[in-house]
Structure 1
Amino acid sequence: MALPINIADLIQGRAVESDRIEYKQGWNPGPIYRSICAFANDFDDIGGGYILVGIAEENGRPVLPPVGLNDDEIDGILKEMVSFNNLINPAHHPKISVEEVQSKKILVIWAFAGDNRPYEVPDEIKAKEKKYNYYIRYGSSSVKPSKSQREELIALSGKTPFDDRPNTQVSFDEISLTLLRDYLRKVESKLLDSMDSLTKEQLLSQMQLLYGPPKRRHPRNVALMMFTDNPEKYFPYSRVEIVHFPNGEADPEFFEAPNISGTVDYMITRTLDYLRINVLKQMTRKIKGQAESVRVWNYPYEALEEVIANALYHRDYLTREPVEIRVYPDKLIILNYGGPDRSIKLTEFQKGSVFPRRYRNRRLGDFLKELDLTEGKATGIPTIRRVMQTNGSPMPEFLTDEERSFFQANLPVHPWFLEDRLEIKDQIEQQSDHTIGGPIGSPKGGPINSLIHLTERQAQILDLLKNNPDLTKRRIAVLLDINVSTAQEHLNGLKRLGVIVRIGGKRGFWQIMEILGQREDDAKKVEGPHTIPIQNPIQSGDEPGIMPHPKPTQKPTQSGNEPGIIPHTIPGIIDLPEKQKELLEYLLENPKSSIKAISEQLNIHFSTVREHIDKLKEKGVLKREGGTRGYWRVTTNDPE
């Protein structure tokens, strides 16, 4: 039966590291079974390996076209393997596939990491007197372990990496055949052609995604991570949270992007898409004495690919914390919980020479590499350092603690973008007369009618134009830390609303117009994917569908029990646990607080804060209004 991998990529070492592949010109069961045993023991938790019979090797590379095997040879090998597999102690049955490569047939043996290590095998599988020994992989060879290695191998008994463990609380019926089919299609596996003739159980078994005897089979965690519609159901807070701090770390202003959740590969691609659209910027400068201009990025995309993929690959899925990304004007911080292996010294991170002893998630990496979302082992940090240097960026910083409870990557912005930001701000301060408002319709602008509906980003742009009507879209983008294209979209939206007009072309200025009002429905038409709707507007008139333009930092007024207004007192609050009462009291005074701020102020762990909030929402005493830019509303309902 076909394997869930692209055979052409496997032969060339593109899908799996070369030290996990052995090429054998012919069938020699002695060394082949020593390697099967070594791969099954998976001493370094890298996920087993592959043996390709019928392909010669030269200097570690396959010799093509293959020598191949005839049908009689293949039949004989398959019959022998049935009995040889039972000679491994405990028995181990690798997956086997007959493949045709350049008109020649070869045998592909997938010796996956076993569930019952340590395994031992006779030194010579065909010998009459069989002497058993353990075997492990050392580089690209299968060898007998030393005394200390043998003790370590025995100690690994029952210690399976998290992603390869079975989840006995879940049925394999939860696995999505649609996602499985999509994966096999993307990697161009021949197993896709067999899907319609296989039951779900047979398909998952061939992909080594099930555990247990027939009638009591359960999916492995990696199957739930990659092939279910809602992995967060099984691994709480397995998502990505992105927070922007447009004015820097010391300023309290921030805004949160929508959370990104789903399968691991989906989270990686969606996070990279978000950063590419909303964070990445390119700058071109003419350098004196050089014929060509120099182009740089604030952050090289290849560095983001590595750091995001590694954060979701190597994170601890038992820890109920999301992957956090913090966007500052001068740096990006990517934080995942579950730090690196203790075998890695802290000083090695800054040198870029990081070689983990073992992997937390051994199967996940194979799936991601097949999808071209990760590279080979121990290549992430060197790649990040290399592309940052090539881009002219400062070197990244990698942090963890002695307990290895987290891993944090700090990517500094390219210095040109800091210089440009400071230069533009200085120019604006020099040009501005520091007055706010002015006659309506004048070049300096003025307060437009408060009944118009604007997005918050449009409101920010309008505030800038009041004092600086000659701002360009590029300067606006730098000041608000957004892309130039995004700034242009918001300016176009304001023009369509009739709020601003451009006077004088490229060398002109923006004029703010007097508007009588705009219906909310009309205003919503200009909102695009980069706008953030105003949350919890305060009504100031009886006009139907007319929304006021609140200040971005305006908090809900605590004046009673009106809808959307936070009351001073909460009936029934005494029935709540002490921590939940403390949390509600804090939110009464700080309704726009983030989970992070609540955690820091009340000295409660992130995951505990979320659990309390979930329970308060279930009891009907707390509600979130307005999504990521909204606030917490304490209701007047008695908790049940």
Structure 2
Amino acid sequence: MPPFALTPVRIFISSVQKEFAGERAALRDYLRGDALMRRFFEVFLFEDVPAADRRTDDLYLDEVRRCDIYVGLFGNDYGSENAGGLSPTEREFDLATTEGKYRLIYVRGTDDAARHPKMRALIGRAEAGLIRKRFNTPSELVAGLYAALVEYLEEKQLIRSGPFDAAPCMKAMPGDLDPERMAWFIRTARATRRFPLAGDASPHELLAHLNLLDDGKVTNAAVLLFGNRPQRFLISSEIKCAHFHGTEVAKPIPSYQVYKGTVFDLVDAAVDFVLSKIALSVGTREAGPQAPVRYEIPKEAVAEAIVNAVAHRDYTSNGSVQVMLFADRLEVWNPGTLPPSLTLEKLREAHGSVPANPLLAEPMYLAGYIERMGTGTRDMIRRCTEAGLPEPAFAVSDGFQTTIRRVQNRGAGETREETRDKTREETRENTREKMLALIAADPAISTKELAEQIGITPKGIEWQIRQLKQAGRLKRVGPRKGGRWEIIGG
């Protein structure tokens, strides 16, 4: 279930004149090749339309009407004129102006005397109404457009220098927050973390204390934490939960739910969804008046995976957190990635807390949804190991994914220790097979690269290599640096 794509911002690059064929192609290739530009923008060039589909007289004007940003390239040539004496370039510019499009004008060269008189007049009109920039080479044009488009994204609050959760939620008002939710939070935080505000503190005092106001406007974090209906303003902040009887995504989906509400509501609902679908064992009352219960996946591990996905996701993405329960595993995916200071390897070691949404994570900690900053993944690993499950796997591709394996088909006379040993051996064998597949694809791959792609520590990779060598399945050819691996026996 892949995340939804962003609705692209359409860019129209003028014009049909051959004078700028190279520049238009350079802009198109750059906008489609750069990761940031490709994420937000979709570019139209007249040359990309099949010749048979072209209606030269009006096709480009239709595209101007559809675009969000008009990029005008002005040079020496004016272009062919219609019956009214206007070139396609001028007609495009006039329509973009009439339609109120976001216009960016780039003029090649500084010698205006060499230009067609009508082009000089057009540049003069453009200069009077908006800022235009000069360029001489395609690389200068690309650099200038990149800076302008980044500024556009910042103006539209699609990107920002500060964290998303600290930015004001432009359409939300204080009245869109729920005072009862805020009162609940104060009570809970006081009982859980000795929160310093008094129990009768006002909503404004709470928001100010948690830094959830920006010049009097409520922030995105405030809406996510205490909003009446957060998804009115932040559509993708919902959680999608699905349960499959098999090991692959297949339709019809036996159980599928989309949960909306505050981040606290979302976590509670998603955790309950998973716990309602997995096995539960009830012990005896030998140790006390209440019989202990135990889920096949520890509740704390389930909650930690979901809390991490909600607290650390990228809220600028149109993708939603996805919780998918299969017959053999639980997958929790969120649109986001690790901060530069963290790696998949470091998640398994002691590491500092680097929350992607600090103003969101802190209240979740105060309410007891996050136990200790920076220890969540290690706690998850410990809980799963104690329950006889394989260590959770972490991966980063088009988002961040946590996978927790389920133990299947335990024999009637099999002890938890036997199950744990069997599971560990199966996990190790799977790891070795993954290593051999990666080595077959790249015999020069390093242990560090193996560790990053598989999601275990370099020490774990070295242990596995020793096992493979002892089993006669792998050998090293050449020096440690510059050598290669050789798989024995195919």
Instruction: Give me the TM-score of the superposition, normalised by structure 2.
Output: 0.45
Q: Looking at CA atoms only, which structure, 1 or 2, has the larger radius of gyration?
A: 1
Could you state the TM-score of these two structures normalised by the residue count of structure 1? 0.35
Q: Answer 1 or 2: which has greater helix percent.
A: 2
